[in-house]
Structure 1
Amino acid sequence: MNIGEFKMINGRLMGWIATRTIDLPRLYLRKVESSNDRAPAFEIGALNVGNRVVQIGALWQAIANATGEVFLQGSIDDPSLPEPLPIALFGKLEEGFRVAWRRPQRRDDFFAPSRGQRGDDGGMGEGAGDMGDRGGFGGSTAGADGTLMGAGGAGEAPLVDDDVPF
């Protein structure tokens, strides 16, 4: 979804971003000069209530895997926002940029691989945390009747001390 634009105006990259709850009418992009490969390509600035330009985000150059298109991606963040706003800028310096926003996809932490050793087949090695179809939680320690299983042998009392004071 497009939520703004940036264009070259009097030698400065200026633009705006607006959503239903956010209105940033005067934003600035400042090119970052750095020899560090991990440095952003641009810093995003906005005027605060005292008419000072403050940095509210940064953009890094990225390349789309499917098309090879070069674009800028980053986020806007400020203590007044409930969470950072991820954005991407598409276009060219000479023509201007469209600002797009996409809701980030949530990661499903329950299906992330465990940190155990991987076997030769790429799977998890024995004892490294069987994820199976249980979502990564491993096997149950409760029997069919709800009692603790596997703490002692069959018929033995579980090795649990319920008399520990809090």
Structure 2
Amino acid sequence: MNIGEIKQQNGRLLGAIATRSIDLPQLGLRPVQSQNERAPAYEIVTLNVGKRWVQIGALWPQTSNSTGEVFLQGSIDDPSLPEPLSIALFGTDEEGYRVAWRRPQRRDDFGPVTRGTRGSDTPSGGGFGDSTAGADGGLMGAGGDIDDEVPF
């Protein structure tokens, strides 16, 4: 979902982001000059209530696995936000950027699990192995009566 855009204005990358609960009408991208390969490409800055530019995020270049397209990815965070807002920017410095947001997909805790084999101690069928119950529901191969009493 597109939530804003950033374009060249007087030699600067400026724009806005707006959602139902976030309104950043004056947003800028400040290039980061660093020799560190882990440094972001841009700092995300905005005007605060005192009309000063403050950093609220950063962007790193990424490459799409499926298309090879280069885009910027990062997040906006501020103590006034309930949680960081992950964003991606698509476009170029010259053409401008579309700011996109996507809710992260939650992991299904009860979904299927694929496990690798660890060796000969892993049952051949995977999972928990064969049942220990007989056709009548009783325990097979116990070799005698089971004492159901558990001492405390």
TM-score, reference length from structure 1: 0.69
- Higher radius of gyration, 1 or 2: 2
* 1:16 corresponding residue in structure 2: 16
* 2:25 corresponding residue in structure 1: 25
The structure with higher relative contact order (CA 8 Å, sep 6+) is: 2
* 2:146 corresponding residue in structure 1: 155
Equivalent AA in structure 2 for residue 155 of structure 1: I
SS of corresponding position for 1:103: coil
Q: Structure 1 93/79 Cα, relative in aligned 2: closer, same or farther at 3 Å? A: same
Which runs of no fewer than 5 residues in structure 1 stay unpaired? Answer: 133-137, 140-153, 162-166
Q: State the percentage of identical aligned residues.
A: 66
Trace 1:33-44 onto structure 2 (pairs within 5 A).
Answer: 33-44=33-44
**How far does residue 15 in structure 1 lie from its aligned partner after superposition?**
0.8
SS of corresponding position for 2:20: coil
What is the RMSD of the two structures over their aligned residues, measured on CA atoms? 3.0
CA distance in 2, matches of 1:3, 1:86: 11
Q: Structure 1 88/159 Cα, relative in aligned 2: closer, same or farther at 3 Å? A: farther
CA distance in 1, matches of 2:151, 2:50: 63
| CA deviations over 1:1-38 (Å, ceiling 9, x no partner) | 11100111111111100011111000110111112221
Which runs of no fewer than 5 residues in structure 2 stay unpaired? Answer: 130-144
SS of corresponding position for 2:6: strand
Equivalent AA in structure 1 for residue 64 of structure 2: A
**How far does residue 156 in structure 1 lie from its aligned partner after superposition?**
4.7
Q: Structure 1 160/67 Cα, relative in aligned 2: closer, same or farther at 3 Å? A: farther
TM-score, reference length from structure 2: 0.75
Equivalent AA in structure 2 for residue 59 of structure 1: L
CA distance in 2, matches of 1:158, 1:99: 66
CA distance in 2, matches of 1:53, 1:158: 73
Trace 1:94-133 onto structure 2 (pairs within 5 A).
Answer: 94-109=94-109, 123-125=116-118, 132=127
Aligned residues: 136
